[in-house]
A and B are shown apart, each in its own frame.
Chain A
Amino acid sequence: MSADTDQRATPGWIGLWPALMLVVFFLVPFGIMLAVSVSQRDPAGAFIPGFELTHYARFLTAFFAKVMGVSVGVSLAAAAICVVLAFPFTVFLSSMSHRIQTLALVVLLSVLSLSEVIVGFSLSTLLSKTAGISNLFYWLGLIDAPVAYTPSLFALITGLCYIGFPFAVLVLYPPVSRLDPEIIEAARVMGASGPRAFFGVVVPNLRSAIVGAFILVFVFTLGSYLLPQLLGRSEDWTLSVHITDQAIYQSNLPFAAAMSIFLMLVALALVGLASLAGRQRGAA
């Protein structure tokens, strides 16, 4: 019997390495952040170890509640738009020839290689009054004068969707391309119109992939702190922006840490809810 256990392809101790990495680079920093969040603020720059809940209390004000609402709302909207655009796109893509599929995926991957800074500045130029697309609309006679579309909530969500869309496609692509095309044909023969087969058969069969793509884009955009500053108005600033602001410009590390923990708890709660919804429907 002991010989059998020794014959396993992956010995158990190999798992110790990732476990150690998780402890060193995730659990320990998280513990430090937790400790900082209850420390006393030192206006000179760092913090004084201690235990006080003032930073959490400060967060529970109308202002920061609203910021939290904006953060979650913006990310939910971006995730929803990305999935709504990416899902039909991926279904369509998977019916194309292999050459076109490869080409499209390479283009999407190359979009991922662009940094948030480049995307942000490109979009703010593209949506600006002086050099943006409103000049094109003006030239075409659609509007009376060039206008600025940035900074605005629209510009911010456009930017977040630009970043999130490739992720959504890459998460959706494997399960969508594995879906048996005969399933759709079966629904059609049995009397389902095109849209009905799509919503009644394709979407429910890919529910977990859709939820996965939604969660990924949501979490990813929740942490974005550059695009809200580049493309959003100050009232569109997300919690991530305020965390950066407090940690770097206001030298209030304990408060930044407390906000980070709040953000993480809210994100975890929403991710848990979403995956629970995906699983329940799938099993029913």
Chain B
Amino acid sequence: MTNLRIESLSKTFGTFTALDEVSLEIPTGKFVCLLGPSGCGKTTLLRVIAGLETPSGGHIFVNGEEQTKVPTHKRGMGMVFQSLALFPHLDVAGNISYPLAIRGADRAERERRAEELLELVRLPGMGARRIDQLSGGQRQRVAIARGLAIDPKVFLLDEPLSALDAGLREHMQIELRQIQQSLGVTTIVVTHDQKEALTMADLVIVMKDGVIQQAGAPMEIYRNPANPFVAGFIGTTNLLQCEIRDGAIEVLGARLPVAEGDRIGVAQGRAQLSVRPEHVAIGPPGGEIEAEIIFLRDLGESRHLLLQVGGQEINAQLSPEMHGAYRPGERVSLSFRPGERVVVA
């Protein structure tokens, strides 16, 4: 069932186009990540869905009902803001039960629901704390609990974890995903962190300049990017100028026949080859493509080489069986693993 449907939604600020005819459908219970660089329109899209911005054109439907002109406070959404926007004048329970108080719930009902949500976000018994007594991670959880208090039709989060340090952020990503799965609430998270999107989402929507570049499951987008921008934005990749001619990829002076599993989005002519670092294989010199090792990074769990081929830099991640004693300045040959090559226009 479709929970949220957006039809050719546009939003302009003066001469700046933040959203350009965006259309998408989100099934009930999905965890969606709006991903893109800053200024790509992802936050604007979230704010239009919440009703905090009026669209310049287009329609929003929630559970089949048109919401485009419905005022913010009547949309029944839950939202977590980038600054969290917790109310300093209320305690933790007061914050969480604020949406219930607005709807006229009595005291007992509010207290019961607040404690229930505090247990959900693993802060049981913290209802009487003041907001300024909480750590960053605890505030995060309170904001999530508050957003979920009324069983929102759609749960919206605007860069919710960006203020946390790396370790805690990763932990909260997993926890947020678990909470979302246990409740089955349709959730939309805005993020510029592709790892966050890959960790949490059922559906990743990559945006750039107010236009959706690609929408799909995380691994689908990772393995089969629609264009060079998506290939470069999701994960790390090597983008190389190439030409497709007669069933082969011509790149770096070599001619590589297209193999089973290669995803070739161009029939003929100039294009770009995207190869992930883990799919670049290193061998002894004398192969089809010769490269020089510029730099070696040993991160313990993985080793990375920075290679140079005729002015082009290429990142390679060595698989464990290829762990040899490489040194900067050494000449090697490299190959791109057949079946893992992506050609995009």
Contacts and interface: CB of A to CB of B under 8 A. Distances in A.
Are the chains A and B members of one assembly?
A: yes
Interface of A: 180, 182-183, 185-193, 196-197, 200-201, 204-205, 207, 282
A182 B89 contact: no
A203 to B, nearest CB: 9
B87 A189 contact: no
A282 B91 CA distance: 11
Contact of B85 (A182, A200, A282): A182
A23 B50 CA distance: 59
Nearest to B72: A188
Interface in B36-86: 50-52, 71-79, 81-83, 85
Contacts of A180: 83, 85
A205 B83 contact: no
Given A180-B83, A188-B73, A191-B150, A207 B103 contact: no
Given A189-B50, A190-B98, A204 B78 contact: no
Given A191-B73, A191-B103, A192-B73, A186 B79 contact: yes
Interface residues of B, number: 27
B83 A282 contact: no
Top 3 A-B pairs, shortest CB-CB distance: A186-B85, A190-B99, A182-B85
A73 to B, nearest CB: 30
Contact of B87 (A183, A185, A188): A183
A204 B77 CA distance: 24
Contacts, number: 63
Contacts of A207: 89
Most buried by A among B73, B75, B88, B150: B73
B110 interface: no
Looking at chain B's contact residues, is the secondary structure mostly helix, strand, loop, or mixed? loop
Contact of A196 (B82, B85, B87, B102): B102
30 contacts: A180-B85, A182-B81, A182-B83, A185-B72, A185-B81, A185-B85, A186-B81, A186-B85, A188-B51, A188-B73, A189-B52, A189-B73, A189-B77, A189-B78, A189-B79, A190-B78, A190-B102, A190-B149, A190-B150, A191-B74, A191-B99, A191-B102, A191-B150, A192-B73, A193-B71, A197-B73, A200-B102, A201-B89, A207-B89, A282-B89
Q: Specify which of A185, A186, A201, A207 lies most central, judged by the most chain B CB atoms within 10 Å of its CB.
A: A186
Nearest to A207: B89
A61 to B, nearest CB: 45
B192 interface: no
A182 B46 CA distance: 14
A189 B87 CA distance: 14
Nearest to B47: A185
A182 B156 CA distance: 14
B83 A190 contact: no
B11 interface: no
A138 to B, nearest CB: 45
Given A180-B83, A189-B50, A204 B73 contact: no
Contacts of B76: 191
Given A187-B87, A190-B146, A196-B102, 8 more contacts: A180-B83, A182-B85, A183-B85, A189-B51, A190-B150, A191-B103, A205-B87, A205-B89
B83 A189 contact: no
Nearest to B80: A186
A191 B51 CA distance: 11
Contacts of B51: 188-189
Max chain B Cβ within 10 angstroms of own Cβ: one of A189, A191, A192, A196? A189
A187 B98 contact: yes
